[in-house]
Amino acid sequence: MKASATFIIGGIFIAYLIFVAVVMFVYEPLPEDRAWEDRQAYNSQKITEITFGQSLEAIKKTFGRADFVEAKTGVDGQYQLLFYRTHHVTSDGITTRDECTPLLFKNNVLIAWGIETYQQYLDSKILLDPLKPAPTH
């Protein structure tokens, strides 16, 4: 009786160790599930790997949920701006836009990122009624 209980307990312990090893080596948390320091380091590293023309879907798959999002319909297409935390500015417990790198998409395609990107987004001409087609001249 004691021997079989020992084997059962030993088997459960070995199964547990295998489970822990698999989780440690296989499981990769989503970017938004990481601590802010880890997410910031991850985003900073991944920003160096992005390229023009990547889809909005591919970026979201890589970076996860954005810290901030803005969108508008311009006269020449739809614009979306995603902000991802990439650097620390103030230790106040709050992520702000100045601690993020903006990524600008036009019609769901990456067209710009970095310091001047937000101004490019602001400078794009807004279509006043997004349900009406843009005027032709």
Categorise residue 114: left if φ over 0, alpha if ψ from -120 to 50, beta otherwise: left
pLDDT at 131 over 70: no
The reported pLDDT for the residue numbered 2 is 65
Per DSSP (E only), the strands in the chain are 68-74, 77-85, 100-106, 109-113
Helices 56-63 and 36-47 cross at an angle (nearest 10°) of 140
Cα(88)–Cα(78) distance, rounded to whole angstroms? 30
If you count them, how many residues does the chain have?
Answer: 137
**Tens of pLDDT along 77-86?**
999 999 999 9
Give me the pLDDT at residue 132, please: 61
Domains of the chain, start order: 31-123 (3.30.1450.10)
Provide the token pair at 96. Answer: 């702000």
Report the alpha-carbon distance of residue 41 to residue 37 in Å, rounded. Answer: 6
Which pLDDT tens digit goes with each residue over 67-117? 999 999 988 899 999 999 998 887 877 888 889 999 999 999 999 999 888
Q: Can you tell me the distance from the alpha carbon of 94 to that of 3, in angstroms, rounded to the nearest whole number?
A: 57
* Tens-place pLDDT, residues 11-48: 888 888 888 777 777 766 676 777 878 889 999 999 99
